[in-house]
């Protein structure tokens, strides 16, 4: 079969022919589509130091996938023809891994498909343990490849729901209608976070330091999400009608961290998800502000199986009204491996169609 592979430790990506051995008690899944994310391109450019092959010297790329059961096993809850999304991270042996929360792994001894120690899904078929497959309703086949990136958002919501109980956080009338969420970063994760916080009932603003292309602006507009250009727009003017009570960062720069600490309201909640950047914090008063504003800040990585299910459930019910299929801005063939090296203009999410 065709598979898109990298050599950990080296720059580059290739498409090659590989056969996988049938594995006992594992389900054979035929890949329908795989999504491309920033991590994939960072792997191709050898920018991540934790990438590892499953065996040999190559790794099949790809952790965002939708597949269809081709051969199931005895007594499985899955049958041929079922749609499934495979999970990325597989548990180790720590206390949290044992209770299904490898997203909170204590010791780092987990593996991740397409990233560290396990082949990914950019190939025509794969064998999978049934406990790492999440069943998908056929009604969302067109965009179910978004379940994997959306599961990160569902964990962010879990963290938000937790942190807001630190102190009586709601408006005087018990609602969130006076409360605003600001999301930093307009990639697929930033947009999905905005969508979900908007549907929770918060005044929702998304931020980039560059203007956005029309297709993204239109998508935001349909969904009632405000855009703020942090290079050219006026912070204090915008904050009057779009308060910052929650800030979620999907970009990862310290410049944004500084902006958040500066502008967020007292008792504010900050959730950090993006990890791209390095940089320096110029003025050190951010600690005083974290204290004086009683801020709550949480890093949030990955998500658990519960969050995959919640993501799938969200797409089933919310996607029809939200034009979510417009988030998929390009559909490619496995042979188009250049797409793993180069981000198309106006890309939100590019996917590869396998069958």
| Closest separation in Å from C-beta 255 to its own copies | 9
Beta carbon of residue 103, minimum distance to its own copies (angstroms, whole number)? 8
Q: Which is nearer to its own copies, 13 or 88 (CB)?
A: 88
CB of 75 to its own copies, least distance (A): 14
The CB-of-319 to its own copies minimum distance in angstroms stands at 9
User: Does the CA dihedral 13-15-17-18 come out positive or negative?
Assistant: positive
Burial of 66 (0-12, 13-18, 19+ CB in 10 A): buried
Tallying the residues shown for the chain, one arrives at: 355
Q: How far is the CB of 329 from its own copies (least distance, A)?
A: 24
Rounded-to-integer distance, Cα 289 and Cα 262, Å: 7
Smallest distance, its own copies to C-beta of residue 155, A: 9
Q: How far apart are CA 253 and CA 234, in angstroms?
A: 20
Q: Which CB atom, from 172 or from 234, has the smaller least distance to its own copies?
A: 172
Query: Tokens representing 12?
Result: 């580059």
**Shorter beta-carbon distance to its own copies: residue 217 or 297:** 297
Tell me whether residue 137 or residue 229 sits nearer to its own copies (CB atom).
Answer: 137
90 or 353, CB closer to its own copies? 90
What is the rounded CA–CA span in Å between residue 197 and residue 194? 5
Q: How far is the CB of 82 from its own copies (least distance, A)?
A: 15
| CB 205 to its own copies: min, Å | 19
Classify the phi-psi angles of 154: left when phi > 0, otherwise alpha if psi is within -120 to 50, otherwise beta. Answer: alpha
| Rounded least distance, CB 264 to its own copies, Å | 11
Nearer to its own copies, 149 or 334 (CB): 149
Q: Which one, of 200, 307, 205, lies nearest residue 248 by Cα?
A: 205
Q: CB-based contacts of 291: which residues, under 8 Å, 6+ apart?
A: none
Nearer to its own copies among residue 211 and residue 299 (C-beta): 299
Distance CA 248, CA 198 (A): 13
CA distance 142 to 146: 9
What is the spatial distance between Cα 205 and Cα 247, in angstroms, rounded to a whole number? 9
User: Could you tell me which residues come within 8 angstroms of residue 208 by beta carbon, excluding any fewer than 6 positions away?
Assistant: 185, 186, 227, 229, 230
Give the single-character DSSP code of 178: T
Judged by beta carbon, residue 68 or residue 295, the one nearer its own copies is 295
Q: Which is nearer to its own copies, 171 or 331 (CB)?
A: 171
Output DSSP code: residue 116: B
**Contacting residues for 298 by C-beta, under 8 A, at least 6 apart:** 159, 163, 269, 270, 271, 272
Question: E-assigned strands of 140-196?
Answer: 180-184
């Amino acid at each position: 079969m065709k598979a898109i592979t990298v050599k950990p430790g080296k720059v580059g990506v290739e498409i090659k022919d590989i056969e996988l051995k049938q594995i006992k008690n594992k389900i054979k899944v035929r890949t329908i589509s795989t999504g491309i994310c920033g991590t994939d391109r960072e792997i191709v450019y050898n920018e991540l130091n934790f990438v590892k092959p499953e065996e040999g010297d190559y790794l099949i790329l790809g952790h965002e996938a939708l597949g269809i059961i081709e051969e199931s096993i005895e007594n499985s809850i899955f049958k041929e023809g079922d749609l499934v999304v495979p999970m990325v991270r597989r548990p180790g042996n720590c206390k949290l891994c044992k209770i299904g929360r490898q997203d909170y792994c204590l010791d780092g001894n987990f593996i991740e498909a397409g990233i560290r120690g396990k082949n990914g899904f950019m190939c025509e078929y794969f064998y999978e343990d049934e406990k790492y497959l999440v069943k998908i309703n056929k009604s969302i086949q067109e965009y179910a490849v978004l379940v994997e990136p959306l599961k990160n958002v569902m964990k962010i919501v879990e963290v938000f729901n937790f942190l807001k109980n630190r102190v009586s956080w709601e408006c005087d009338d018990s609602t969130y209608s006076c409360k605003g969420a600001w999301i930093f970063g307009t990639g697929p994760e930033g947009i999905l976070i905005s969508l979900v916080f908007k549907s929770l009932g918060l005044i929702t603003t998304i931020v980039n330091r560059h203007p956005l292309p029309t297709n993204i602006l239109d998508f935001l507009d349909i969904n009632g999400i405000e855009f703020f250009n942090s290079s050219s727009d006026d912070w204090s003017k915008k904050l009057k009608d779009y308060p910052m009570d929650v800030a979620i960062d999907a970009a990862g720069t310290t410049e944004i961290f500084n902006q958040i600490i500066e502008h967020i309201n007292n008792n504010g909640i900050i959730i950090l998800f993006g990890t791209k950047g390095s940089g320096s914090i110029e003025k050190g008063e951010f600690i005083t502000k974290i204290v004086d504003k009683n801020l709550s800040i949480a890093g949030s990585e990955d998500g658990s199986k519960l969050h995959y299910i919640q993501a799938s459930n969200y797409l089933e019910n919310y996607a029809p009204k939200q034009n979510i299929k417009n988030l998929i801005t390009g559909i490619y063939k496995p042979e188009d491996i250049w797409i793993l090296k180069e981000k198309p203009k106006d890309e939100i999410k590019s996917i590869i169609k396998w069958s």
